[in-house]
Amino acid sequence: MPSSCSFRITRTAEDLAQTINALSQRLVRLEQRQEVLELQLNKAQQEPSEEELAMLDGVEQLLRDCQELLATSSPPENVDQSWSDEEETLAA
């Protein structure tokens, strides 16, 4: 009897060692995969896509157009007068 018990303990210990070894290898592979994914994510965050660059160019052009409109247009004189008439009415 003692020998069969000893065999079971030895066999169980070997099974546990193999399981731990397999789990360790899987963990290493998962860590390597995680590193690759993190590198890809960092690269994607640092470099804007072609679509994003095109959108930013469009926004920049719209800003320039708005600045040109603001620079070339002058406010009508009667609008300023109507504001001051309204202020006088409110002050009274």
pLDDT of residue 75: 64
pLDDT of residue 77: 60
Q: Which residue has the higher pLDDT, 29 or 78?
A: 29
pLDDT of residue 63: 92
pLDDT digits (tens, 9 = 90+) for 17-73: 999 999 999 999 999 999 999 999 988 788 777 888 889 899 999 999 999 988 888
CA distance 50 to 77: 46
CA distance 20 to 16: 6
CA distance 71 to 75: 11
Grade residue 11 by pLDDT with cuts at 50, 70 and 90.
confident
Q: 27-64 in b/e burial notation, b at 16+ Cβ within 10 A?
A: eeeeeeeeeeeeeeeeeeeeeeeeeeeeeeeeeeeeee
